[in-house]
Amino acid sequence: MVSVDIAAFAEAYDNEVLRGAPRALTGQLVGNEVRPYPQRGDLNPAPEQAFAWAHPVDVYNLQIQGSGRIAFPDGTNARAAYAAQNGYRWRSALGALRDSGELPSATWGNFRTWSDQRGAEATRQALAADPSYVFFQEETIDDPSAGPRGAANVPLTPLGSIAVDPAFHPYGAVVFVDGQYDGQPFRRLLVAQDTGGAIRRGPQRGDVFFGSGPEAGQGAERMNAPARWWTLLPRGVPVS
């Protein structure tokens, strides 16, 4: 897998068309040419084999989250840290099943049950609706109380960190979010410390980090509501 810095070529060739392209493209070397990396459904052998002991829906959920903790059958634990992504725009396989009528109530639990009932091939085809694929690298967990490192390269804090689109919000910025959670007001100061394929969609799309474990996962799944938010700046900072 290789990454091509389009911005560098735009400057080298003084090309306005390239300046309007995405800053970086992900691909693969085929001979001496750079070609697009395969989509999820075209990856062969299936990368899920690296998680052969895990449920494929759980692996997909891990890819959506971007990082997580792995509990091995022998009782040991490790962190699955984000390593790379194949370059394709994220499209929710769970949402595709909902829109097709296959899964009217689109929850991870229902997706898992549907997968168990329909079998491995149907699950593979359902997941292929999302061309994006995230790769991980295994890391040791030195401090079990610390969250995974986000895109800002600092450990995330439960209910203190938020993933943002860095094209609109710089990492380290403090934002005030005013929304709803479980029917109750959710008003909290959060720090922009991460991003994700589903988040790079504009200035007011974010994802609150809830922590690790089943309870945190269930809480995060219920966090889906419109909200207002403000980016806080120090006094005297010019606003363009």
Task: Please state, in angstroms and rounded to a whole number, the distance separating the CA atoms of residues 149 and 151.
Answer: 7
Structural domain spans, the chain: 38-139, 161-232
pLDDT at 76: 87
124 — pLDDT class (breaks 50, 70, 90): very high
CATH number of 38-139: 2.40.240.50
pLDDT at 57: 94
Dump pLDDT digits (tens) for 21-53: 777 888 999 999 999 999 999 986 555 555 667
What is the DSSP code string of 57-104? HHHHHHHHHS-EEEE-TTS-EEEEEEEEE-SPPP--HHHHHHHHTS-S
Looking at 2.60.40.10, 1.10.10.1200, 3.90.1150.10, 2.40.40.10, the CATH number of the domain 161-232 comes to: 2.40.40.10
Dump pLDDT digits (tens) for 209-220: 998 888 888 888
Please give the radius of gyration of the chain, using alpha carbons only, rounded to the nearest integer.
19
3-state secondary structure of 20: coil
Dump pLDDT digits (tens) for 68-105: 888 888 888 899 888 889 989 899 999 999 999 999 88
Task: Kindly report which listed range (16-20, 55-59, 118-122, 167-171) carries the lowest average pLDDT score.
Answer: 16-20
